[in-house]
Structure 1
Amino acid sequence: MSPFDPGSPDRICILLNPGSGKQGDARLDETVHAFAQVHPDRVKVHELREAEAPDAAARAAVEDGYGTIVAAGGDGTIGAVADALHGTDARLGILPMGTFNFFARGLGIPLDIEQALALLLEGRARPVMVAEVNGKLFLNNASLGVYPAILEMREDVYRRWGRSQIAAYWSVLLTLVGFRRARTVRVVVDGKRRRRKTPLIFVAHSAYQLEEFGLDGADYIRNGAFAVFLAPDVGRWGLLKYAILLMGRSMTQNRDFELLHGHEVDVEGQGRWLVARDGEREKMRAPIRFRQRRDALQVITPDAREGAG
């Protein structure tokens, strides 16, 4: 019998996504299982099946009395687990095993899996603010337009060539070459309405991710607002040029994009739109509403920093 009370934060359930990027190292799964074997009374590993939803697995772990639920995977897996835990007393632990790991890196969580595993035992839970789009949680960003199409292409490239940052960038180039449709929308930021024709609306909630790509707007996020990027309607070759500038950290506000900021963002329109949030895609019915969630998520971090990263 476990010496820890049901619901105790000392009881740890690791939800391991075997399909994540693994930082290019398939041996990371073995490291996680070995860690659980060293702490059998405290740690359990649940390996997600192919069709198993991480959020459902996280809710089941909470019902089983685990107080710390660990997302072992990329930002998509972490976001799904976080959505299930938000509003509960459970703590979120993170093992960054994806391709980019923006959320973990923004919180200072080690990319070295052995160090990240040690953090689960030694770290403290800190409040981290999260956001939502039409009621669905996101950690780093959510977007409409060409970026969801890029993600669709990326999954196809991953299936063919495997997961890597090079494959991710290649999917960007392939998508932009074939992209043809900008959309006229009404964007409402803190009550101010603007009409724009744009191929991309990108709502950022991660200061770290913006700084990683050399983009403005990180200070808006640290002050509790969204940074909203509107791409100009420049055609597919213009978008390809901007993608190259972005990868080279050379994007410039006003020349290459319009940057807005605010606490409430609505995109008005009709019908169902494809929305990307932290790498996952789904159809949502307009209007598309972006909001900050009032209650923070409790995340195990190595220090006392707060915010969305």
Structure 2
Amino acid sequence: MQAITSTDLRPALQNAQVLVNLKSGRGAQHPDVHDLKSAFEAHGIAAEITRLKPGDDIPAIAADLARNGAGLVVAAGGDGTICGVASGLVGTDTVMGVIPLGTFNYFGRSLDIPETVEAAVAVIARNHRKSLPVGVINGQVFLNNTSLGIYPQILRTRESVYARWGRSRPAAYWSVMKTMMRLPRRLKLTVTTQDEQREVKTSLLFAVSNAFQLRQMGLEGAECIENGQLAVLIAPDVGRLGLLKNGLALMLGRAQRNQDFELLCAQSLNITSKRKSLLVARDGERTRIKAPFDLELRQGALSVLTPQRDAGAVR
């Protein structure tokens, strides 16, 4: 079983660099800068707040803070923002704090981090560090999942749905169905793991590093992550009705292995495609990446402040 090690930091935290995305998830419930500062000051921590803007290179901003000696960088936003901050901190001595402000908050919820600012800051103030594995695709970090195929298109649709109806979980689910009704083009991929190589034709390849997210979605594969591997889900090659059926099963938490998806467990894998590049989703964000694709679960790459809990827990 993949353990998450833990170490208390000493001395107590006194300063925090806070990168906040106020455009994430639950807009009306977001704190303002004064609220954030006050929440940290209540625990004796001086917080310097940076408001992120569309187009900001979040990994570069976080990496620059770490390079200049920041001991604590806090990511306040949705999973995409948190992933961006983590990307800049992986492999450094800087610890990451988390204030979940997104729609689903899979990363924060997987670590029992509260979804209110005051409670999340209280977790940070307890100063309890855990070393976590991260997923990597062609050098780019993901904390929950990465995918090829239909899901990046779903994210594109979701942006337009959010713009019209606002950010919510029902709107996100509707984006899934709306995209699947258009019958996206299938991918022809060669997937190579440590054990096998196979040719697949699929509308979706979904690699997950967060067991909590799989359980929330009613999907198998948590045992892969518990054993220090990625859970790789591959959708079958089906037509429009099959895609809609799979999408409905996924949203209802009723998707079944070997019927709605095939499951592979792999610590690392290589994926080749006839296309020179593909649109790839990482924790809710879209990026075009050149093929081939090398994926791995990199152990102990990120330190995060979390509530105290058993050292053997797998998120």
| TM-score strictly above 0.5 | yes
1: CA distance, partners of 2:226 / 2:75 = 24
2: CA distance, partners of 1:286 / 1:191 = 21
CA 1:28–1:265: 2 relative to 1, 3 Å:
farther
Candidates 259, 268, 271, aligned match of 1:267: 271
Which residue identity does 1:139 align to in structure 2? L
RMSD of the TM alignment (CA)? 2.1
Cα distance, 1:10 vs structure 2: 3.2
Candidates 128, 134, 138, aligned match of 2:138: 134
Which residue identity does 1:16 align to in structure 2? V
Cα distance, 1:8 vs structure 2: 8.7
Cα distance, 1:183 vs structure 2: 1.9
8 Å Cα contact 1:265-1:291 kept in structure 2: yes
Aligned to 2:83: 79
The reply on whether 1:174 has 2:178 as its aligned counterpart is yes
Q: SS at 1:130's partner residue? A: strand
Q: SS at 1:175's partner residue? A: helix
Q: SS at 2:294's partner residue? A: strand
Cα distance, 1:286 vs structure 2: 1.2
TM-score of the pair, normalised by structure 1: 0.91
1: CA distance, partners of 2:294 / 2:75 = 26
8 Å Cα contact 1:129-1:296 kept in structure 2: yes
CA 1:171–1:225: 2 relative to 1, 3 Å:
same
Unpaired runs of 5+ residues, structure 1, are: 1-6
Aligned to 2:4: none
Cα distance, 1:280 vs structure 2: 1.1
Q: Over residues 118-165 of structure 1, what are the superposed CA-to-partner deviations in whole Å (9 max), with x where a residue is unaligned?
A: 111113111011110011011111110001110111112122222111
8 Å Cα contact 2:40-2:121 kept in structure 1: no
2: CA distance, partners of 1:149 / 1:16 = 26
8 Å Cα contact 2:25-2:78 kept in structure 1: yes
Q: SS at 2:83's partner residue? A: helix
Q: Over residues 151-193 of structure 1, what are the superposed CA-to-partner deviations in whole Å (9 max), with x where a residue is unaligned?
A: 1111121222221111111111111111231122111122411
CA 1:267–1:63: 2 relative to 1, 3 Å:
closer
Q: Over residues 194-242 of structure 1, what are the superposed CA-to-partner deviations in whole Å (9 max), with x where a residue is unaligned?
A: 1111111011111000001111110110110111111011122211111
Candidates 277, 302, 306, aligned match of 1:297: 302
1: CA distance, partners of 2:215 / 2:153 = 24
Q: Over residues 220-265 of structure 1, what are the superposed CA-to-partner deviations in whole Å (9 max), with x where a residue is unaligned?
A: 1011011111101112221111111111111111111111111111
TM-score of the pair, normalised by structure 2: 0.90
The reply on whether 1:89 has 2:93 as its aligned counterpart is yes
Aligned residues between the structures: 303
Cα distance, 1:101 vs structure 2: 0.4
Q: Aligned runs of 1:206-217 on 2, under 5 Å?
A: 206-217=210-221
The reply on whether 1:234 has 2:230 as its aligned counterpart is no
Candidates 164, 168, 188, aligned match of 2:168: 164
8 Å Cα contact 2:18-2:48 kept in structure 1: yes
Which residue identity does 1:252 align to in structure 2? Q
1: CA distance, partners of 2:167 / 2:64 = 29
2: CA distance, partners of 1:14 / 1:65 = 14
8 Å Cα contact 2:30-2:101 kept in structure 1: no
8 Å Cα contact 2:269-2:295 kept in structure 1: yes
Which residue identity does 1:211 align to in structure 2? R
Which residue identity does 2:286 align to in structure 1? R
Cα distance, 1:295 vs structure 2: 3.9
8 Å Cα contact 2:188-2:273 kept in structure 1: no
8 Å Cα contact 1:140-1:205 kept in structure 2: yes
Unpaired runs of 5+ residues, structure 2, are: 1-10
CA 1:195–1:61: 2 relative to 1, 3 Å:
same
8 Å Cα contact 1:10-1:68 kept in structure 2: no
